[in-house]
Amino acid sequence: MPQNKNQLSYGVTERLPAADLYDERVADLRINGYTVLDSGLDAGFVDGLKSRLDGVYQRQVEEMGGESVLKGIGDSDVVRCVLSYDADFLRVATSEPLLQLARRIFGTEFVLTQQNGIINRPDRDNNQGKWHRDLPYQHWISSKPIAINALLCVDDFTFENGATFVLPGTHHVEEFPTEGFIGRSEKQLAVPAGSYLVLDAMLYHRGGANRVATARRAVNHVIGLPFLAQQIDIPSALRSTGQTVPDDPAIRKYLGFQWTPAASAKDWRGRRES
């Protein structure tokens, strides 16, 4: 994608690259803190994720002895590490457009730190409705992104069903902004099903209130530089649930197989040999 010759300037000696769609998405992320990316996933496949996500959530409810337990710890309607229960969600986490965007942002070294399903129901409060960063409790910023969150919209995100609100530019400022700034600047983003809503993980955002009769579902991914720890040890989770472990070395690295702490000096050296 060539530079627009109509954008006249002077005193400019450096520009963000603009070779193609991915460079444009990176520009959105670097400056505004958010962008939308088509997942490339078939519409029928995405629609089928609704029931599959609900099914994994019920399995996790049963594992914990009932939804009241999840409510008691503030974790209801969150489906943890979904890909370790259903291989379709590994496909969601490894779609080529998402990985291509991650490569543009981070280069060759990045890791999936978490994948969580989110079910926003109309009849209950949702913890995601509070302003937060996806690297929570952090009041510092970096000159380049260290992590992004990519929210696959399984249902259409609309203004009526609680589409995500963002505070553009807040990934550039350490502190949470003022009430006045929030009132002037918050922006709600309608995003079609099958797209990723991608945010700089330091951007403040929140879910909206669902005012329709049906749930709004999404699958969130936090992808970052390898010094960030995984929320759940994905390699161990895949093995413990009997899911097939991918053979592709790049996908294995992305899922954390290379980045888990070595058990010993011999283990660490053995990894360098392989």
We report the CATH number of the domain holding residue 229 as 2.60.120.620
pLDDT at residue number 225: 97
Average pLDDT, the chain: 94
pLDDT per residue as tens digits for the range 25-50: 999 999 999 999 999 999 999 999 99
Asked if residue 261 belongs to a domain, the reply is: no
* pLDDT of 258 over the 90 cut: no
Asked if residue 274 belongs to a domain, the reply is: no
Give the whole-angstrom CA distance, residue 47 versus residue 194: 9
pLDDT at residue number 1: 47
Helix (H) or strand (E) holding 206: strand 205-206
Contact indicator for 114, 149 with CB cutoff of 8 Å: no
* pLDDT of 178 over the 60 cut: yes
Asked if residue 22 belongs to a domain, the reply is: no
* pLDDT of 5 over the 70 cut: no
* pLDDT of 176 over the 90 cut: yes
pLDDT grade for 274, boundaries at 50, 70 and 90: low
* pLDDT of 3 over the 70 cut: no
What percentage of the chain reaches a pLDDT higher than 70?
Answer: 97
Asked if residue 272 belongs to a domain, the reply is: no
Give the whole-angstrom CA distance, residue 258 versus residue 219: 24
pLDDT at residue number 6: 67
What pTM was estimated for this model as a whole? 0.92
Asked if residue 52 belongs to a domain, the reply is: yes
Contact indicator for 250, 176 with CB cutoff of 8 Å: no
Contact indicator for 232, 80 with CB cutoff of 8 Å: yes
Asked if residue 12 belongs to a domain, the reply is: no
Nearest Cα to 257, choosing from 228, 229, 236, 232?
Answer: 236
What percentage of the chain reaches a pLDDT higher than 90?
Answer: 85
Give the whole-angstrom CA distance, residue 128 versus residue 149: 14
pLDDT grade for 117, boundaries at 50, 70 and 90: very high
* pLDDT of 2 over the 90 cut: no
Mean pLDDT across 148-166: 97
Q: How many domains, the chain?
A: 1
Range of the domain at 175: 33-255
pLDDT at residue number 124: 75
Residues 6+ apart with CB under 8 A from 198: 25, 29, 34, 35, 36, 37, 101, 148, 149, 150, 151
The more confidently predicted of residues 106 and 128 is 106
Asked if residue 11 belongs to a domain, the reply is: no
Give the whole-angstrom CA distance, residue 126 versus residue 268: 42
Asked if residue 235 belongs to a domain, the reply is: yes
pLDDT per residue as tens digits for the range 50-61: 999 999 999 999
pLDDT grade for 173, boundaries at 50, 70 and 90: very high
93: left (phi over 0), alpha (psi -120 to 50) or beta: alpha
Sign of CA dihedral 44, 45, 49, 51: positive
pLDDT per residue as tens digits for the range 201-252: 999 999 999 999 999 999 999 999 999 999 999 999 999 988 888 999 999 9
